């Protein structure tokens, strides 16, 4: 039975000069409203200890439109302006739930430029999209068809730093579940090999950024030599942005194909809960980790497993998958990073470091499915029989992270210092 999901289809489009000017004005107004609403909510708490809700922010927007200073907000569609207030409310909700940091102001140069139109702000007729305040439909390149009979519920227009225009069409469609499979795979992520599977297969890391690093460095040197505010600097900035866009597109395409293959071939996919944000603080590995796209891969696996009726199991990040023998369960005290192969002192098995980790991750995932989250595979004796000796549990409530000096949080706001908004 097909599962009904909301799915966005993204296409490239080429606006006319009039459409580009209208959309650019809309982007600017959306950014202004977001920043003013964020400033008002922050100031209201710090000066008056008063909470500002979405309804109050919407009332502020009405007052801004009536003022002489911000009367130009009436020249664009009102729907994207209301939607950006909803996005701000969502950002605050994520902050209160400790899923994100405090919302920051949008920048014209650094932030993604976008505007969301709901059903009342665009017309869908004969497979063509016409936005509010525009007379002609968008010139969309239909690289793939929309699902038959699908009716768009929202349209998001965006422009990236390379100057490319995109339209994302949100529709509700049915996705058929895949046939059940008995396969379970454990995945160990890495840098030399992007993924190592519990089957022993290693998937090479394409290193998209490294392949274009020379071109990128040359373009960045050219940008650094251009005078601030000059037309030549704008052209050089666009050249750098296009190289970055090429790298990101190739990385995303590879991860999409790889995640689809893993979901189609396996009923259960087991991965580690990695804290990528802290890992990239290692300046020696930050560029390689960012280029690998581990967090993007996890996000793709999450929604694809949900779509196609698969199960994604995420095991504890402190599980010693690399230092534990997948044959007998013996755990060594230390394993240097340069030791790609090691021999278990208990049973004598020679392990490939990454393959052994992937097999342990798979075993931990199967144990979590059967007995509950956090279960680890039990060690075995030399004869292969399960050992009665259990692994010594850690002290309850003890922080498993190594001790050391901790940095103060860089965020300017804290959960305790700001009251919640409705």
Per-residue confidence in pLDDT tens, the chain, 422 aa: 678 899 999 999 999 999 999 999 999 999 999 999 999 999 998 888 888 899 999 999 999 999 999 999 999 999 999 999 999 999 999 998 988 999 999 998 877 899 999 999 999 998 899 999 999 999 999 999 999 888 999 999 999 999 999 999 999 999 888 999 999 999 999 999 999 999 999 999 999 999 999 999 999 999 999 999 999 999 999 999 999 999 999 999 999 999 999 999 999 999 999 989 889 988 888 999 999 999 999 999 999 999 999 999 999 888 888 889 998 989 898 888 888 898 998 898 999 999 999 999 999 999 988 876 554 444 444 444 443 333 333 333 333 333 444 444 333 443 333 333 33
β-strand partners of 5: 173
For the segment 128-147, what is each residue's pLDDT rounded down to a tens digit?
Answer: 999 999 999 999 999 999 99
Confirm if 64 and 55 have CB atoms less than 8 A apart.
no
**Catalytic annotation on 188?**
yes
Within a domain: 359: no
| Burial classification of residue 359, based on how many CB atoms lie within 10 Å of its CB (0-12 exposed, 13-18 middle, 19 or more buried) | buried
- Count Cβ atoms within 10 A of the Cβ of residue 274 and give its class: 0-12 exposed, 13-18 middle, 19 or more buried: middle
**Given 22, 116, 209, 272, which residue is catalytic?**
272
- Answer yes or no: is 143 within a domain: yes
Catalytic, 354? Answer yes
- Rounded to two decimals, what is the model's pTM? 0.82
Give the span between the Cα atoms of 141 and 160, in whole angstroms.
17
> Is 304 inside a domain boundary?
no
Give the pLDDT score at 397.
39
CA distance 231 to 253: 33
Q: Which domain holds residue 113?
A: 3-175
- Geometric angle at alpha carbon 418, from 417 and 419, rounded to 5°: 125
**Catalytic residue status for 249:** no
State whether residue 312 is helix, strand or coil.
strand
Residue pair 355/196 in contact (Cβ under 8 Å)? The answer is yes
- What are the φ and ψ backbone dihedral angles of 314, each rounded to 5 degrees? -115, 120
268-272/311-315 β-pairing: parallel
Q: Going along 68-221, which residue ranges are E strands?
A: 113-118, 122-125, 128-131, 140-141, 154-159, 165-175, 184-189, 193-197, 202-204
Whether 108 is covered by a domain: the verdict is yes
* Encoded tokens for 405: 């000096």
Q: What total of structural domains would you count in the chain?
A: 1
Handedness of CA 72, 77, 80, 85 (dihedral sign): positive
Per-residue pLDDT tens over the stretch 346-365 = 898 999 999 999 999 999 99
Is residue 265 included in any domain, yes or no?
no
- Measuring CA to CA, which residue among 338, 314, 283 is closest to residue 189? 314
Is 278 part of a structural domain of the chain?
A: no
Burial (Cβ within 10 Å: 0-12, 13-18, ≥19) of residue 112? exposed
What is the b/e burial string over 214-227, where b = at least 16 CB atoms within 10 angstroms of the residue's CB? eebeebeebbeeee
Count of other CB atoms within 10 angstroms of residue 367: 18
- Give the tokens for residue 184: 């379970």
Q: Phi-psi region for residue 37, left (φ > 0), alpha (ψ -120 to 50) or beta?
A: alpha
Cβ contact 21:73 at 8 Å: no
What's CA 255's distance to the chain center, in Å? 12
Q: Choose the catalytic residue: 22, 116, 209, 354.
A: 354
H or E element in which residue 7 lies: strand 3-13
- The verdict on residue 130 lying in a domain is yes
- Residue whose entry in the numeric block shows the structure tokens 């950024």: 209
Instruction: Give residue 207's pLDDT.
Output: 94
Which one from 22, 188, 209, 291 is the annotated catalytic residue?
A: 188
Strands 350-352 and 268-272 come out as unpaired
Measured distance CA(146)–CA(335) in Å, rounded: 51
Supply the pLDDT for residue 395: 36
Q: Does 246 reside within a domain? A: no
Angle between helices 54-66 and 78-96 (to 10 degrees): 150
Q: Outline where DSSP puts E strands in 46-127.
A: 113-118, 122-125
């Amino acid at each position: 039975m097909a599962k009904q999901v909301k799915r966005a289809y993204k296409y490239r489009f080429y606006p006319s000069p009039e459409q580009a000017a209208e959309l650019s004005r809309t982007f600017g107004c959306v950014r202004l409203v977001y920043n003013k609403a964020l400033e008002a909510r922050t100031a209201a708490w710090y000066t008056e200890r008063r909470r500002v809700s979405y309804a109050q922010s919407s009332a502020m927007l009405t007052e801004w439109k009536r003022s002489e200073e911000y009367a130009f907000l009436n020249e664009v569609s009102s729907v994207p302006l209301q939607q950006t207030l909803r996005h701000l409310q969502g950002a605050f909700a994520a902050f209160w739930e400790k899923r994100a940091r405090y919302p920051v102001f949008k920048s014209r140069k650094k932030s993604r430029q976008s505007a969301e139109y709901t059903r009342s702000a665009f017309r869908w007729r004969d497979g063509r999209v016409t936005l509010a305040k525009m007379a002609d439909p968008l010139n969309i390149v239909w690289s793939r068809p929309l699902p038959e009979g699908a009716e768009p519920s929202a349209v998001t227009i965006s422009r990236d730093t390379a100057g490319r225009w995109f339209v994302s069409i949100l529709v509700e469609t049915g996705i058929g579940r895949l046939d059940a499979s008995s396969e379970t795979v454990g995945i160990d992520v890495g840098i030399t090999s992007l993924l190592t599977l519990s089957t022993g297969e290693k998937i090479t890391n394409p290193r998209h950024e490294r392949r274009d690093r020379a071109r990128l460095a040359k373009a960045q040197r050219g940008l650094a030599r251009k005078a601030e505010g000059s037309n030549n600097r704008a052209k050089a900035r666009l050249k750098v942005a296009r190289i970055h866009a090429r790298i990101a597109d190739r990385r995303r395409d590879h991860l999409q194909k790889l995640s689809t293959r893993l979901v189609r071939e396996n009923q259960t996919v087991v991965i580690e809960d990695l804290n990528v944000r802290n890992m990239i603080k290692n300046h020696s590995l930050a560029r390689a980790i960012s280029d690998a796209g581990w967090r993007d891969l996890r996000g793709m696996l999450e929604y694809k497993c949900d779509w196609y009726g698969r199960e994604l199991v995420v095991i504890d990040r402190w599980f010693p998958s690399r230092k534990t023998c997948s044959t007998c369960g013996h755990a060594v005290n230390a394993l240097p990073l340069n030791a790609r192969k090691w021999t278990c002192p208990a049973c004598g098995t020679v392990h490939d470091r990454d393959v052994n980790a992937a097999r342990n991750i798979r075993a931990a995932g199967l144990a979590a499915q059967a007995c509950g989250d956090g279960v680890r595979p039990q060690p075995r004796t030399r004869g292969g029989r399960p050992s009665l000796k259990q692994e010594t549990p850690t002290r309850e409530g003890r922080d498993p992270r190594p001790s050391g000096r901790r940095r103060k949080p860089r965020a300017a706001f804290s959960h305790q210092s700001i009251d919640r908004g409705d």
